[in-house]
Every structure is written in structure tokens, then in C-alpha cells.
Chain A
Amino acid sequence: MTETTFLDANELVINMGPQHPATHGVLRVKLKLSGERVLGSECVIGYLHRGVEKIAENRTYAQFAPYTDRMDYVAGVTNGMGYCEAVEKLLGVELPPRAQWTRMTLAELQRIASHLLWLGTHALDLGAITPLFYTFREREEILSIFENYCGARLTTHAFRIGGLQYDLYDEFENDIRKFCDDFLLKIDEYEQLLTTNRIWMGRTQGVGILSAEDAIALGVTGPVLRGSGVRWDLRKAQPYEAYDKVEFDVPIGEHGDTYDRYLVRIREMRQSVRIIRQCLERLEPGPIFGKVGKVIKPPAGTEVYHSIEGPKGELGYYVVSDGTVNPYRVRIRPPSFVNLQALDKMIRGHLVADVVAIIGTIDIVLGEVDR
């Protein structure tokens, strides 16, 4: 045993990922450790880079829509919605109300599904295995609603530029009403397992604190920003679809730690149920497609940036047109990518176990980070 090993060094550099159960995909975090304490970190991403933005330049506007589902593949509906809205804005199309309410209903269901997936995996990362199965049970119901609506569960391609492809199926409203009624009780169940659990509180409170100033400086959005105490939700700040016509609250945290972000997301799920119920009340028969031609050709030299409040934060699309049927440039502003930047700030000085908690609390999807 004359060769030198890593044991000779005082500082330990370990690679968390790209194959690691708690990095939620193929994130690789290089950690510099002293004992179990993190001295510094570096994220290595790009393992899932597929060049979505390049693909967009070689597809027509309509052809590109399904690709957006493959970015944040646990929230395909909201991804597609953001893109469709961006192109609609570029064209100047307005949607009929039925399409808007349907979109909002499905988008909020998708938000719940995304949060459920986050909750289950986050709890699993912290060693609580049971919530995962409970959350997946409810997520399954949402996915089957999606499946009944458009035939797909994950990469739904639920919406089209200008409206909806399909009208609602017969039992749509009943299914969702039933889900909403049950789901509120189910949230109580999750909370019973975690919210006041001493170990859970110990693992999440005071861990990964991100101050509001840091969050804004780093461009963090979504529940992470709100967990830091900034009451900013695009659905309220710059309403799209018909979010200005529904009532809901924007929950925020106080301390900016992992526990607050957990609470924010839990409360957001309740608010989503509230929104969904209002949407269902307003849902009336009518046209489901705006005035969009079969060939989508936005005027040359125009560009829009449109963003929506995705489950993980601000999901923006910057679309530039050159007057042809292909977008000249589609830039996707991925919430996970920008939020992930805050990781280093949040984990410094914490223990290895907290790294897992903090990666979980940012709620990233690598398909979106790498695109």
C-alpha cells in the first residue's frame, strides 16, 4: 500500500452524481468536504442536453410544441402552455374563454402533480419513504385525468397554438371535482406525516437559507423565491390566461429555509385546488380555438418574451420571428436552470446530508436544466 490514496488529503472531494439516487436525474455536484462539512461545490450539468433550442429553429411553430413537453417532463402541460401562449402573443391571437379555463384547470392540476412528485422525492431524500407512495397515488389520478383528456400522461402536448385540440371529455368536470374534494384531505395526510414531525423539522428548518436579496440577485423564481419571503407570483403580478379573474392567495415563507419552501409548496397545492374549483365553475360551452391560420407565420422582425408561473418558477419563452414558418430563435428560460445556481450559496457550510435536502428543495428537473 505505497500508492497514495485520497485519504492522504485533508479535504475530500466527492462527486455527487451524475448517477446518484438523490440528484434527481443526472446532476453532478462536485463537493469539497472537510469531514462531512461542505466547503464548496460546483455543479456540472449538461448530461441531458438535447439542443432543444436548436431543434426549434428547424421545426415549424406547431411542430416544436411537443418538444417543450420533454423539458420539464414532470410538468408537460405547463411547458406546452407557456410556449403556446408565447406564440399566440407573437401572433396577437386571443383565446375563447372555454380554452382559457380549460388551460388553467389543467395547468393547475399539473402544478399539483409536479408538487406531489417533488414532495414524495424530497421526503424520500430525507429518509421518509412513505409519503412517496401517498403522493404518487394522487398524482396517478391527475395523470389519468390527463390521459382521458388527451391520451398521454407525461408528455401530454395538451394544447395547441390558438386553443385546444380536443374538447373536454364527458366526465371531465366530475373527475376533477371528485379529485379536488379528496385531495384536500390527502394533503392533510401528508402534513400529518411531515409538518410537525420533529425529525422533519430538524432536517429542514434552518437548512439552506436563502435570503430574499440573494434570491433576487440570483434570479431565483417560483416557490424558492416565495419561500424566501418575496410575494411574487406571475399569476398575480402579470396575469396570463384568466388568472386575473380567479381568487387565490400567494403563500410565502418567512425564513427562507427548506422548511418554509416545503410549507409554501404545500399551501400552493391547496391554492391550486381553489383555482381549479373556480375554473370549473366558469367553464361554459363554447368555441375552443382562436383565430389562427393553418400555417403559422408571425410577422417578420417581431419578438416577444412571454413567461408563465410554472410549478418550479418563471418559465419564459423568448420567440423571434423572421416571417417564415420556422421560428428564428426560441429561447427557453428554464426555472430549474436559474434556480439551481443558488445551490452553491445554499449548501456552503452545511453537511453532506443537507446537500441532499437542498437539492431536493430547489425542485429541479434535469430535462429542463440541460434542455
Chain B
Amino acid sequence: MQFLFRHPLILSSIKILVVFMALSGVVAYLVYMERKVLAFMQARLGPMRVGPWGLLQPIADGLKLLLKEDIVPARADKAVFLLSPVISLVAAFSVFAAIPYGPGGWTITNPNIGILLILGLSSLGIYGIILGGWASNSHYPLIGSLRSAAQLVSYEVAAGIAVVSVLLIANSLSLVVIVNRQQQMGVWNVFLNPVAFVVYLIAGVAETNRNPFDLPEAESELTGGFHTEYSGFRFSLYFLAEYTNMVLISSLAVVLFLGGWLRPFSSLRWLWPLDYAPVVALVGAGAFVLWLGLQSRVRGERMFFAALAILCAALAGVVGIPLVLSSIQGVFWLTVKVLAVLYAFIWYRATFPRYRFDQLMTVGWRRLIPVALSSLIVTATMLIWTGYRVVPLLAANLLAGILTAWMVSVRGAGNRSRPTREAI
């Protein structure tokens, strides 16, 4: 028995299974969360029918997608058509092997080239999209997949450059080291290099094909983009991959810039009450659920919410045990931060219209890349010149970022410039 658990393969397998299951659940409820948050911002209720407060909606959606007919267009390249969603999904999920969820054993694996592995693997997902669009043998998917390819290539550059400036600070490619470094510095990387963070976040939104960069699947233009011809189960794979990528980008942003699993102000000992945040959060969630239950007039719902509240209370009790508390500390903070970033993603979607393709390219190449480059150069210079000191790094980066942003935007902005149509 001991041997079994000590064997790295077995332990890893268990971890992989746990992460996979958890991730699937998270992604399913991410969709629910997105719908609820959007509804909240749009003066409506969102899913309310399946289960109390629509809580079972993700399960219903999943079942519906599984049971729907899996249509393969007559003239599609069948093998590729069937395979490509799987490519996307596998790429999206496999990346999570290298994400550190907490200190110590809370990783599946900790390769010393973690960030490279992640960037490489996640880029593979685009093959699923391109091949899927191609194999559909139809106009809209083709345009959608080409857009997607161009978009990914453009924004990976910006995102990559932004990541490099973090690597310079951490002096390592390992994500665990990057987080530890932030603890040593006593400050998160976002405060050392906010410009790189902003660039990374924007590029991340673009890489996940989210609004305002959701051109590859722009519904109003391309009906569905690359997945127009997909239905049922295969469509759900793409769907899952997209939301998994969202979680991935958020997790990476958190790990690289927002201190990963670190508690806010983790270097300040006297803020120890913050350590009890998980307990407070669970109690709060229980209270909220109880309140929801009291609002409800349906007997079944009241029971459900009461049970949920009791569950939350029980969990809070368990978490309150010092040993448990200290071990889940990291995961808790990582989750909270990831959720915050995801919330921002959803918020963008509720707020912005969609870019046009040429504008998307302009933003990528002519705005983000110069800004990211300037931030990289300044970071490197400052690291050599002043060493790892917070204030000079921050000041120089901000200054350079604002300056570059101003320089690159002056050209395009103009005073209500109305471009004339290009001659054909």
C-alpha cells in the first residue's frame, strides 16, 4: 500500500484524475457563472429553471449536448473533422499538469521549463481549430479558422514578450520558482511590471477568442466561426476547450503576475487573520445560500438550500482545523484570484463590442507588441542597473509603458479620422 502511494506514476495518476474531474466541474460551472454574471449585468435573471436558481443548468446542458446528433457534413474530411475537437481539448487540458496549485505537493509535475511547456502545449490547441475549420469544407468555418490562426500567432508574440519580462525578474522558467520569487520579493510581479500584466491579460483574452476579440466565432458575422458545422458532442468538446483555455489563461496570469497561491501580503506576519479567509468565505457562502433558501417559496428549494448551507458550514468546520487550513491555504487563494480574473473576462464580454479583423491586427502588432517590447527592455535595463528593487522597476516600467502606449496610439487615433475605403 505504501509502495503504491509512493510510486510517482500512481500518485500522479491520482492527481491527474482529481485535476481532470475538478477542472471539468469548474468549467461547467464557469459557464453557469458566466451566464449568471452576464444576466446580472444585463438586468435579467439568467438560468433559473433547472434546479434551484438554475444550479443544475450545467448538467442539463452537458446532457443535452451529449444526446444531440453528431452531424458530419457530407463533404467534410471526415477523419480530420472528427479528430480536431479532440486535439483542442487535449491541448487545453494537458497544460494543467504544469500549473502549481499550491506550495509543496500541490502540483502534478513541476518541470523546470514549466512556462515553455505551457506555452508550447497551449499553442497546439489552435491546430484543432484550424483543422476543424478546414475539414468542415464550408465557407464560414474556413474564414473563422483562418482568423483564429492569424489572431493566435499575433497575440502569442505579445503575450510571450510580456511573460519574458516576468522570467527576467524570476530568473527561472519554473512556475513554482516564479511564485516563490514573488514571495521573496515581498511583492507580486504585477506591482513590478503592471504594463506586462495588462499586455498579457489583453493578449490572453485574444488567445481565448473571448469578446472583444471573439472574431473566429463571431456569431453575427460568421454564424459560428470554425465550429459552425459542429454539433452535439463534438461541439461540446470545442466549447469545453475554450472555457478550459479561459481558466488556463487566468491561472497563468495569477501565477505569473498575481502571486499564484500566495496570500495577499503574505510577507506581513501581522495580517495572520487573513489566513482564516477560507473559513470566513465558506461561512459567508453558507449564509448567502441560507438567505436564498429563506427567500424561496418552493419547499424543495428551501430544503436544497438548507442542505447546501449545512454543507458549507460543515466544510467551514473542516477547513477550520489548523492542519487542513494551512494545507488548503494556497489552493484557496489561487482559486479566488483565478475567479477574479475570470470575472473580468466575463465583464469584458458584457461591456465591449467586437473588434474588426484589421483592427484586431492593429491592436496586436502596432499597439501591444511595442508596449510589451518596451516593458521588456526597460525591465532588463533596470534589473542590470538597479537590481531587484521594487520602486525603480515599477516607476521605470510605468513610465515606459505610458510613453509607448501614447506613442503607438497617436498615429491611429487622430481627430475622428475617417479612413476612406480602399480601392479594389
**Interface residues, chain A, with chain B CB atoms under 8 Å away:** 1, 5-7, 12, 14, 20-22, 34, 36-37, 39, 123-130, 132-134, 137, 193-194, 197, 199-200, 202-203, 205-206, 209, 255, 257, 348-356
Contacts and interface: CB of A to CB of B under 8 A. Distances in A.
B267 interface: no
Interface stretch (B52-60, B90-98, B415-423): B415-423
A255 B421 CA distance: 13
B324 interface: no
Given A20-B223, A199-B212, A356-B220, A206 B354 contact: no
A5 B43 CA distance: 47
Contacts of B424: 34, 37, 39, 348-349
Contacts of A257: 418
Given A39-B424, A349-B423, 12 more contacts: A14-B140, A22-B221, A34-B424, A36-B143, A37-B422, A126-B220, A129-B38, A133-B44, A197-B352, A199-B353, A199-B355, A205-B417
A356 B221 contact: yes
B221 A352 contact: yes
A127 B143 contact: no
Given A137-B43, A199-B212, A128 B353 contact: yes
B143 A133 contact: no
Interface string B108-152: 000000000000000000000000000001011011000000000
A14 B221 contact: no
Interface in B333-364: 349-359
10 contacts: A126-B220, A127-B214, A127-B220, A130-B42, A134-B43, A193-B351, A199-B359, A352-B143, A353-B356, A356-B220
Interface of B: 38, 41-44, 75, 77, 137, 139-140, 142-143, 211-212, 214-215, 218-223, 349-359, 416-424
A354 B353 CA distance: 13
A356 B356 CA distance: 11
B418 A255 contact: yes
A129 B143 contact: no
| Main secondary structure on A side of the interface with B | mixed
A130 B351 contact: yes
A309 to B, nearest CB: 28
Q: Which of A123, A128, A349 has the most CB of B within 10 A?
A: A128
Contacts, number: 111
Contacts of B349: 129
Interface centre among A39, A137, A206 (most CB of B within 10 A): A206
Given A130-B42, A205-B416, A351 B356 contact: yes
A202 B418 contact: no
A126 B350 contact: no
A132 B75 CA distance: 37
Nearest to A197: B353
Nearest to B412: A202
Contact of B220 (A21, A36, A194, A197): A21
B423 A129 contact: no
Contact of A351 (B139, B140, B352, B357): B357
A130 B350 contact: yes
Contacts of A37: 422, 424
A349 B421 contact: yes
Contacts of A351: 356-358
Contacts of B211: 127, 129
Contacts of B77: 1
Contact of B212 (A36, A39, A127): A127
Contacts of A200: 353
Contacts of A352: 143, 221-222
Contacts of B143: 36, 352
Contact of A202 (B75, B140, B356, B422): B356
Nearest to B354: A127
Contacts of A123: 353
